[in-house]
Chain A
Amino acid sequence: MKTRRDFIKISAAGAGVAALGLSTLHWNGVKAQENTQHPVSDEEMTPYPTYCEVCFWQCAGWTYVDKKGSIKKIIGNKEDPHCNGRLCPRGTGGIGMYYDEDRLKTPLIREYKENGEAYFRKASWDEALDYTAKKLQAVADEHGPECIALFNHGSAGKHFGTFLNALGSPNIAAPSFAQCRGPRETAWIATFGEAVGSPEPTDIRDTDCLVLIGSHLGENMHNGQVQEMAQVIDRGATIITVDPRLSTVAAKSKYWLPIKPATDLALLLAWIHVAIYEDIYNKEYVEKYTFGFDELKEHVKNMTPEWAYGITTIKPDIIRKTVREMANAAPSVIIHPGRHVTWYGDDTQRIRAVAILNALFGSWGNRGGFYLKESFHLPKPHIPPYPKPTKTWRDAYPGQFKLASLALSSGICDATIPTEDRACSFKAWIVSGTNLPLTLPDIKNTKKAMDNLDFMVVIDTMPMEVTGYADVILPECTYLERYDLIRTLPHREPNIALRMPAVKPKYDSKPAYWIAKQLANKMGLGAYFPFDDITDLLDWQLKQVGSSLEEMQRIGVKKFDRENGGLYFQKGEDIEFNTPTGKIELFSNDIAAEGFDPMPVYTPHPEPEQGFYRLIYGRAPMHTFSRTANNHNLWDLKKENSVWINPKVAKLWNLKKDQLIWLKNQDGVVSSFPIKVRITERIRWDSVYMVHGFGHTDKKLSRAYGNGANDSELITKVMVDPIMGGTGMRGNFVTFLTEKPAKEVEA
């Protein structure tokens, strides 16, 4: 047992007993009026429909407003298949984004004092938009509109996407591709002819065996998946988790495979080997739907569990047992494709192996595997055709990344730094809803790119790090204060959801639609935003499909019947997959055509030197990346991240629980802030773990500033996936500093 008071204080009180007279008595702040807070009953509030913007699962819910017009709470919409009436902690705590007193309050324009010091000056919307329009026009005139890029993540990006296309640039990138699920989509397209997409059509609800490779559901709080995973636990079905760390779900799994990081591909190949050579794969499915089985069989011939054991540290009998579990459950088995999969640079190939394993068990298109998703299509307003761009971001990477199905944010960032052989580099950025310095690996590189810009405008809700580099900051109102486009994400049943404001925007903030339209007007592109107000657009769209804005304001979510048949393939159904062979390609012709291995090959990755540990990172259930670190409701739950260290390692370094240490990576970069030590058996001894999104450096974030460390700044080694350009970020190694280094590495 520990005590929070030390001896000195107590003995002082003892010795001071005589002195402890009336002089130390003080009046204990008597409260003048009865001030007790009673909860407000739902009957006394008005709910307004919305869908959540705290992450990209976009759960639909209701914002409850009391009689005084204050937002009290946000509750899930029971009709919504994304959340089934239950938001995740971040969605419930989304209220904190609205109430955050650190929010961006007015448009700001960068100015310089006489001594050269930069500062932000408050500006009116008109002035800020005029200035932005003028600057963008200047770049477009001088370098061509293609030299303007949009970085976006979230709802606002759609409106600015329209704007940028109208301007004549196709360069629209989100970090959710090259820093997130890009390799997965490329691998899936190569194998099944279509992307996995969001939300993932994993039929977890009905599965008999769920295999998670890294995917830390339960910490990764993507709502529907977590809910369905809980059902799996309830039903007692098998969960197999492969993770160097005892993730929350690993602790709930029948099998936890504490794999040596960076070696998953060997495990996957061994699983494929056993499935084929023990003859326990789904023969009917493989014969009917796949291409390249014989090549695959030959390819994995020597990739035995014994071979994989030496690489992965997972025992051969466990490898066999687990794959037999999958085979027993097949086709009701899900080898989860993961979501954030940009790990080691060979990620497309790793996810290819995942896709192949799913194909061998026939889970794609089968109950308990992957369902056939369907989304609802809303008509688009008629707008003039977009001008035809003469070049795209791809021109910066001739012959490379052809299989990237979306633009690479990191690619555009890199191509902003001029090189001799590049025809044009990017000159202006529009950044909406993505905090690039924390989102892209290698902060120094990102800063260098921003240094090279002629102009940068940031549309955000918070004074996040990225705003500090802007020439103009435009404050968007939060999702609780605005309309946005109708959500049309796919699911088992096609459905739509409305987001409408529950209250007026706080401060002088505006919705993105309005901002984009004003900007378009000022640049003579008003025709691309044919409706004056977004409500007119929504009502027009909804009426086309037999609903109306009024109806959606009442119900929030509307479901429709499926049009493309059942949730799964019919028995014996003929399917044409969108691949070169029309089959599920175990052997990928597309990948072969680009000159890469048509079937995944394991290659070893560098390992930490003596005294260094692999830096792995992930999510905390109550935070989304860096965006929620300052949210008061969620900050209450978790104020900072800690670095997870195995007790053996802690002992070696003589580290104590909650001790503050600095992390230094293989390139000598030291974390700007110290981080608390968590000594835990939940992690291997060759790795350390931290949650991404902390260590904010912007002092305007009054709660988040300086709390914890930022993994992004320690990720200076980026292993780019040669197939699609994803940024592998887990090849970095750190060591511990118990004292702040005298010479701080320039941040």
Chain B
Amino acid sequence: MKEELFVSGRNIPYIDPYLNIWHWEIPVYLFLGGLAAGIMFFAGYFTIMRKEKEMQATVKYAPFLVPVALVLGLIALFLDLKHQLYFWRLYTTIRLESPMSWGAWTLMLITPLSMVWVASYTREVFSRWDWKFKILYQLEELIIKNRKSLAWAMMFLAVILGVYTGILLSAFNARPLWNTSILGPLFLVSGLSTGLATIIWMSKSKYERKVLSRLDLMLIGVELFLIIHLFMGFLAASEVQIEAAQLFLGGEFTVVFWVFVIILGLIFPAIMEILELRGFHIPIWIPSLLILIGGFVFRYVMVEAGQITRYLY
């Protein structure tokens, strides 16, 4: 028999018996960040592809959610901080080695950018909107003229944001479950997928939904592929990572992961999207909502389970 115990009675809040320093705030932050990145990415993409007319929900309407999601995400991040009065310290330095730091800076850049984008469509969406000042009208004109460049910037930052939401966790080698390079792309793809799901939900155009559903199916396929690789990687790695994988393969997180994330969050919506593409009538909000729930649960579970995994004891 092997027995290991703290004889000094260590029992530190949030640290013992298992690490639990991050709660719902971080998964919310990651989820909203991924979702925002998804929407921005496709808004940018279809703008560059000159599909503004066909893809109105993607380019024009869904982006209105982005600043909201980002601000809510930032609020969640702020709520997670334990020394909140010192929040501003994030912006007194740029630390390239710290994903937290460049995440904070990316958000700092991308949030205004998304607002500018939204502003450029405000009068199209709300026809009675009035900018009141002349200078604002001039600015609007300028932005509209440079929408293409904006689109490039947005796509670029969206990718950074998306990857960041994945890398934030995988940068922590100390947590065996997060210690894998697959997590970055996986979270990116999942973020794009939640973005797409949101747009599909908002779209009124059959054509647009079809284009997006196809894309989404592709992403779901990639996601499933990455998840399989993730577990294969773990099972082929060190003991602690095998143990980490066990949390999802028979351990405490098995049901929630396979039911909410894989079946209800990926496979089920995928089937519904296929049926929809084949002409069956499916209330479109169902697969979208399932994807969103699956996306959040995925992050929540990864954050919770990841903290439990450790090298020692």
User: Residues of A with Cβ closer than 8 Å to B?
Assistant: 1-7, 10-11, 13-14, 17-18, 20, 22, 24-28, 30-32, 622, 636-639, 647, 679-681
Contact = CB atoms under 8 A, between A and B. Distances in A.
B271 interface: no
Contact of A14 (B18, B72, B300, B305): B300
B127 interface: no
Given A3-B308, A28-B82, A11 B251 contact: no
A30 B293 contact: no
Contacts of B76: 25
A6 B252 contact: yes
Contacts of A20: 24, 28
Contacts of A22: 72
B117 interface: no
A30 B300 contact: no
Contacts of B152: none
B252 A681 contact: no
Given A1-B247, A31-B85, A639-B9, A681 B256 contact: no
Contact of A10 (B18, B80, B256, B292): B256
Contact of B293 (A14, A637, A639): A14
Given A10-B256, A11-B260, A25-B79, A4 B17 contact: yes
A14 B247 contact: no
B1 interface: yes
B302 to A, nearest CB: 12
B175 to A, nearest CB: 12
B8 interface: yes
Contact of A7 (B255, B297, B309): B255
Given A20-B28, A636-B9, A10 B301 contact: yes
Given A4-B17, A639-B9, A680-B3, 13 more contacts: A4-B20, A5-B304, A7-B253, A11-B259, A13-B24, A13-B300, A17-B296, A24-B24, A25-B76, A30-B84, A637-B9, A638-B9, A647-B1
Contact of A681 (B3, B8, B251, B297): B3
A3 B289 CA distance: 29
Interface string B32-64: 000000000000000000000000000000000
B128 interface: no
B13 to A, nearest CB: 13
B81 interface: yes
A636 B76 CA distance: 33
Which of A4, A27, A636, A637 has most chain B Cβ within 10 Å? A4
B25 to A, nearest CB: 9
Contacts of A26: 79
B84 A637 contact: no
Interface string B1-34: 1010000110000000110100010001000000
B83 A31 contact: yes
Interface string B143-155: 0000000000000
A220 to B, nearest CB: 15
B276 interface: no
B177 to A, nearest CB: 10
Contacts of A7: 252-253, 255-256
B10 to A, nearest CB: 9
Contacts of B28: 20
B85 A30 contact: yes
Nearest to B2: A681
A3 B3 contact: no
Q: Which 5 A-B pairs have the closest CB atoms?
A: A14-B297, A3-B252, A14-B260, A637-B9, A17-B296
Given A25-B75, A639-B9, A3 B1 contact: no
B180 interface: no
Contacts of B24: 13, 20, 24
Contact of B252 (A5, A27, A31): A5
Contacts of A636: 9
Contacts of A24: 24
A411 B82 CA distance: 60
Contact of A11 (B9, B80, B246, B256): B256
Contacts of A25: 75-76, 79
Contacts of A13: 24, 297, 300
Nearest to B87: A30
Contacts of B83: 31
A376 B295 CA distance: 78
B243 interface: yes
B253 A10 contact: yes
A11 B297 CA distance: 9
B8 A637 contact: yes
Nearest to A248: B7
5 contacts: A1-B246, A14-B297, A17-B296, A20-B24, A28-B82
A28 B84 contact: yes
Contacts of A28: 79-82, 84
B151 to A, nearest CB: 31
B303 to A, nearest CB: 11
Max chain B CB contacts within 10 Å: which of A3, A5, A27, A647? A3
Nearest to A5: B304
B19 to A, nearest CB: 10
Nearest to B292: A17
A14 to B, nearest CB: 4
B251 A3 contact: yes
A22 B18 CA distance: 28
A14 B24 CA distance: 11
A1 B4 CA distance: 13
B229 to A, nearest CB: 22
A413 to B, nearest CB: 34
Contacts of B72: 22
Interface in B61-79: 72, 75-76, 79
Contacts of B84: 28, 30-31
A25, A30, A638, A639: residue with the most chain B Cβ atoms closer than 10 Å: A25
B271 to A, nearest CB: 20
Contacts of B18: 2-4
Contact of B309 (A1, A11, A679): A1
Nearest to B82: A28
A104 B150 CA distance: 73
Given A1-B243, A4-B18, A17 B293 contact: yes
A32 B84 CA distance: 10
A1 B240 CA distance: 9
Contacts of A2: 18, 252
Nearest to B297: A14
Contacts of B253: 3, 7, 10
Nearest to B80: A28
Nearest to B28: A20
Contacts of B289: 18
Contacts of B1: 647, 679-681
A662 to B, nearest CB: 23
A621 to B, nearest CB: 9
Q: Give the interface centre of A17, A18, A639 by most chain B CB atoms within 10 Å.
A: A17
Contacts of B301: 10, 14
A638 B7 CA distance: 8
A608 B274 CA distance: 73
Contacts of B82: 28
A435 B17 CA distance: 34
A316 B247 CA distance: 50
